[in-house]
Structure 1
Amino acid sequence: MNTIGIKELQTNPGKLSHALLHNEYLLITRRGEPLGVALPFGLPLLENGMKNWVALKAFQAGDISLGQLGKVLGKNKHDTLALLGELNIPFADYDLQEDLQTLEALFNA
């Protein structure tokens, strides 16, 4: 695995492009400490776990729907929801206080 410091990456971003185009991956560091890994999309690692992790992160960020997540994971809705539960990833994002205020306003109208 090749390593590149964040400063070098900022001054020479072409090194990242070159590595990815040549199906290599890079360990990105800051002051010698690992920050992350840059991987080309064609790497088998993406198909064997990383793809699922990226899809889960995209779902958490609201970038893909539950149905899209299930499709990427190859799971039906029930199994996708079960997995989200196991990973403690909420599948619904709502503000309970806002809902309670709405209900109160409806009952007081």
Structure 2
Amino acid sequence: MNTIGIKELQTNPAKLSKTLLADEYMLITRRGEPLGVALPFDNNLMENGLKRWMSLKAFKNGDISLGQLAKTLDMNKHEALELLGELNIPFADYDLAEDLETLDELFPVS
């Protein structure tokens, strides 16, 4: 495996390009700690894991809806919800305290 520090990558980006063109991957580090992995783009990579990871990440970030996640992963919404449950990814993101405050405003206790 090829490894490059973030500072070296900034000064010598051609090293990364050469690695990717050679159909190899590179570990990018910062102060000796793994920061990320650069992979050559290829459809097999997308279909064998990266597509799923990217889709789940986009859902967690709120960039795509449950329906979009399901469609991307060739699932129905029920299957997508089951997957989210298995991975402990919340499918609803809300602030309970804020919701309770809103209810108090709508229905004040006399």
TM-score range, shorter chain: 0.7 to 0.9
Q: Using the TM superposition, name which of 17-26 and 73-82 deviates more.
A: 17-26
Does the Cα contact within 8 Å between 1:23 and 1:43 map onto a contact in 2? no
CA-CA distance at 1:31 after TM superposition? 3.7
Aligned equivalent of 1:37: 37
Question: What's the CA shift string for 1:52-97, capped at 9, x where partnerless?
Answer: 1111111111111111111121110001011101111111111111
Amino acid at match of 1:28: I
Q: Distance in 2 between matches of 1:37 and 1:10?
A: 15
CA RMSD of aligned residues (A): 2.1
Q: Distance in 2 between matches of 1:37 and 1:16?
A: 11
Aligned equivalent of 1:89: 89
Q: For structure 1, list consecutive stretches of 5 or more residues without a partner in the other structure.
A: none
Q: For structure 2, list consecutive stretches of 5 or more residues without a partner in the other structure.
A: none
Cα separation, partners in 2 of 1:33 and 1:48, compared to 1, 3 Å: same
Report SS of the residue matched to 1:70: helix
Aligned equivalent of 1:51: 51
Question: What's the CA shift string for 1:12-53, capped at 9, x where partnerless?
Answer: 223334443554321112344332211133152332112111
Does the Cα contact within 8 Å between 1:23 and 1:42 map onto a contact in 2? no
Number of residue pairs the alignment of both structures matches: 109
Aligned equivalent of 2:62: 62
Amino acid at match of 2:105: A
TM-score (norm 2): 0.82
Report SS of the residue matched to 2:98: helix
Cα separation, partners in 2 of 1:28 and 1:48, compared to 1, 3 Å: same
Q: Distance in 2 between matches of 1:67 and 1:61?
A: 15
TM-score (norm 1): 0.83
Q: Distance in 2 between matches of 1:23 and 1:103?
A: 57
